[in-house]
Structure 1
């Protein structure tokens, strides 16, 4: 049903009556009409000596009532013929075929041209429009009958309140068809999968009460229940695929694309006893990993399935390995770019002035992108190297003081493998987090129970540890596990800014399937490294180590028999100058989980990156300057700080050197020749 109200707005009505009484009639009657069912549309034409306002046919009661509230009071003449003609045109323009059309003319007096009014009404009736003529006050009955479809379609009232009652009575005997309510869910069937995506049956019901059928109206058709299949509402996350589970094997070494970055790849090494090491490696400047060819290639030639320029609403993004390097998006492809010297790229902001950013860009290639060597698992000083021919060729490091570092893919100086750190927290004593009398430790909202520190999302441990320039070597090690699946950044360790221009902040954080390391200065991001944790179980402890030697930052994370590692170039950064905090960096990115070991050392610690277990004599030595005790576990013992008693000494003699004395001012073995 379609109803158009034709409303007189002549000056004889008066502003008060129009705004209070007339508008009330229009609102109340339309509300009743809309209640009749969903197939009701209402429109309005306000006239005086011209058409003053039109509300087109609508089934939206809110839109109609808002239009009525905004009607102006015309205070003009009574040209009823104009209103009837305009309403008839609305039916022709917006009306639906086969739908009952009703026009209700509401006026308070005789029209300015009764003959023309009668003619327009007759034309509307010939278009199958039923006309009710409603007169208020002293409207001539003869003119009302000339407009109306029949004498039974004439309504007269002394005032608008009485007219409102008469109009409401028109709907009493109208048949109201039933209408369905919205579907309401009754319940769900079991999920087809125990973890990850799955489907389930959903049961829904609806009722024929919107409106309820009455006065002979038709009842609702079709069923009031339905059953359909949809994705499970509560999905239990499956353990993510391990980083080295789906790889392409080449000569006994696995290769795969990095799960989140096109310019990185993973090399996977398996130890005979079932342990696996996945090493994150980065292609050189402007190159992507090509999994089909098992090589780094020009980015424009590689169709990377995780291309960020296709999936993200971004135009540029940061390139790891250089403060000046970034990627620019062009036709859904990434192109390598460099900021000018003295400018650093800052995510979402572009190239910004940074006098500390002096990196070479484009970066100079310093070696092979793919590591063609692997450890000899029974000897830390030997390694195997592949060539164009099938198989491996065994080699030894050139010096007995060197061991093979699979992350660096080269022979390196052996680090300390076990050390009494500058500070350790094993949480064995809830009342005293560390036994170091020099370090001041405070905590907030932290629970310590069963040798485990429980971080509840607003917990924090604060220490006053600080080291001065050059600030390396250092190692930070901790064991943690999450309380729930991590979907956003949570801070494990933070070194805050100092109030100095050269100061930097450092953060170690865990995020969805990654653990990361960030260093920022006053200009913005300086260094960034993430290590995937794909395949690690939520309830298992993760052993994390970040070691920095003043040139390279190396990180490892291990869970069960799987270890992942990465390394980035990060020259000469002093990053722990004003304390070291755990569980929070002062933002909302706080840790929710547990830690059972935290240590901070002023030496390099390697967490058995080559997975070589060696037996050797234990040698203990002391450093008066730093105050720690170290235990070397390699066959050859390496002293980090000592004074040579002889200018020339063979490598074998150095290996047998049992005790040393700290030389103040020296902080690296590279200071000794």
Structure 2
């Protein structure tokens, strides 16, 4: 895949690459047998940018980031992803600094404004600036390898009852992966006509594939609130109609039971964007590049939410990208989904879908 191979520094079987459009993020790639690739988008601590030269997160004044928005001119500040109080400020020379609004205030393009619904903590820089120093053991999640410096990669076992997670770069409580979809949609007219909870508008069906242009599919389902033991998982298989469409195309959207939008998964200019809106109006999002995933190819998009953290995944046959962010105080998929558009009905997806599964468990998409 051209995106993974481009500008990647490989060290001891692990690849490191700067994020295509965010200075405080980077991509860490693990290469397995048979061409398997796992790419994780990680975020640097508050006030740090990714340094491709040192392969660490360094202070912003130590990093020359070509994507820095403060260099674009006429930019005084911009929002920090994942925190309603955090923002980046720009000085007259184009230098950037991490800042945080006072408690009870929210960052806006016009500065910090009072908003008692903004309850995020000010981000902390008191975290390590290194990268994950562990490798998965492919096919055995009870084991991992740790960087031993001059001694190379050293084998290690997770404690009893835990398994290694490349997302967390640690052994975590073992999850039950033996689960089946709570609901699924078969994309043909016979299935649609046999159900009362799936409705379509301007959709063509052919050979188990739904063809979208100006249409939509409404899925009226009810799920229980997400918990760490019983996360909500959405699995969708899609492919685009054209190679390059800079406009925002909505794959999936959802609303709460009062009709307020609380979930959007969209394609925006070669990026896949996951957005969850909290009860208090904060939008939590993760973004991943789709470069290297050709438009005509089938791709799987997966959203996992456990009530506090959202994980977005895009995968093809042998390649899987992950990104995650905190998303507390949110509810999704409790009162239905819409495929192909959102509430505006002006950002329609153009392409095809062939599979939709909804889980209330962990089907092991994180390995």
Task: Tell me the CA shift for residue 312 of structure 1.
Answer: 5.9
Equivalent residue for 1:488?
247
1:462 to 186, 200, 218: 218
Equivalent residue for 1:421?
181
Equivalent residue for 1:549?
306
Task: Tell me the CA shift for residue 349 of structure 1.
Answer: 4.5
1:441 to 195, 198, 204: 198
Equivalent residue for 1:335?
97
Task: Tell me the CA shift for residue 599 of structure 1.
Answer: 1.3
| Closer, same or farther: CA 312–518 of 1 in aligned 2, 3 Å | farther
For 1:497 and 1:596, locate their aligned partners in 2 and report how far apart those are by CA, in whole Å. 25
* TM alignment of 1:159-558, pairs within 5 A: 241-311=2-72, 313-330=74-91, 331-346=93-108, 348-363=109-124, 365=126, 369-399=130-160, 401-417=161-177, 419-427=179-187, 429-433=188-192, 440-456=197-213, 458-467=214-223, 469=225, 473-484=231-242, 485-499=244-258, 505-521=262-278, 524-558=281-315
| Closer, same or farther: CA 369–529 of 1 in aligned 2, 3 Å | farther
* Per-residue Cα deviation, 1:179-232 (whole angstroms, up to 9, x for no partner): xxxxxxxxxxxxxxxxxxxxxxxxxxxxxxxxxxxxxxxxxxxxxxxxxxxxxx
SS class of match (2:35)? coil
Equivalent residue for 1:605?
363
Matched, 1:584 2:341: yes
Task: Tell me the CA shift for residue 528 of structure 1.
Answer: 1.0
Residues 309, 315 of structure 1: 8 Å contact kept: yes
Equivalent residue for 1:98?
none
SS class of match (2:202)? strand
| Closer, same or farther: CA 388–476 of 1 in aligned 2, 3 Å | same
For 1:602 and 1:482, locate their aligned partners in 2 and report how far apart those are by CA, in whole Å. 28
For 1:549 and 1:434, locate their aligned partners in 2 and report how far apart those are by CA, in whole Å. 33
Task: Tell me the CA shift for residue 606 of structure 1.
Answer: 2.6
For 1:537 and 1:307, locate their aligned partners in 2 and report how far apart those are by CA, in whole Å. 27
For 2:62 and 2:193, locate their aligned partners in 1 and report how far apart those are by CA, in whole Å. 54
Task: Tell me the CA shift for residue 554 of structure 1.
Answer: 1.3
Task: Tell me the CA shift for residue 354 of structure 1.
Answer: 3.5
Residues 73, 94 of structure 2: 8 Å contact kept: no
Residues 270, 289 of structure 2: 8 Å contact kept: yes
| Closer, same or farther: CA 536–376 of 1 in aligned 2, 3 Å | same
Runs (5+) with no aligned partner, structure 1: 1-239, 611-673
RMSD, aligned α-carbons: 2.4
| Closer, same or farther: CA 373–322 of 1 in aligned 2, 3 Å | same
* Per-residue Cα deviation, 1:90-127 (whole angstroms, up to 9, x for no partner): xxxxxxxxxxxxxxxxxxxxxxxxxxxxxxxxxxxxxx
Query: Structure 1 length normalisation: TM-score?
Result: 0.51
Task: Tell me the CA shift for residue 282 of structure 1.
Answer: 0.4
Residues 384, 393 of structure 1: 8 Å contact kept: yes
**Structure in which a larger fraction of residues adopt helix:** 1
Residues 251, 390 of structure 1: 8 Å contact kept: no
Structure ID, larger Rg = 1
| Closer, same or farther: CA 509–418 of 1 in aligned 2, 3 Å | farther
| Closer, same or farther: CA 358–523 of 1 in aligned 2, 3 Å | closer
SS class of match (1:530)? strand
Equivalent residue for 1:113?
none
| Closer, same or farther: CA 434–314 of 1 in aligned 2, 3 Å | farther
| Closer, same or farther: CA 513–313 of 1 in aligned 2, 3 Å | farther
For 2:221 and 2:90, locate their aligned partners in 1 and report how far apart those are by CA, in whole Å. 43
| Closer, same or farther: CA 356–540 of 1 in aligned 2, 3 Å | same
For 2:320 and 2:78, locate their aligned partners in 1 and report how far apart those are by CA, in whole Å. 28
| Closer, same or farther: CA 312–604 of 1 in aligned 2, 3 Å | farther
**Structure in which a larger fraction of residues adopt strand:** 2
Residues 311, 322 of structure 2: 8 Å contact kept: yes
Query: Structure 2 length normalisation: TM-score?
Result: 0.91
Runs (5+) with no aligned partner, structure 2: none
| Closer, same or farther: CA 504–369 of 1 in aligned 2, 3 Å | farther
Residues 226, 306 of structure 2: 8 Å contact kept: no
Task: Tell me the CA shift for residue 358 of structure 1.
Answer: 1.9
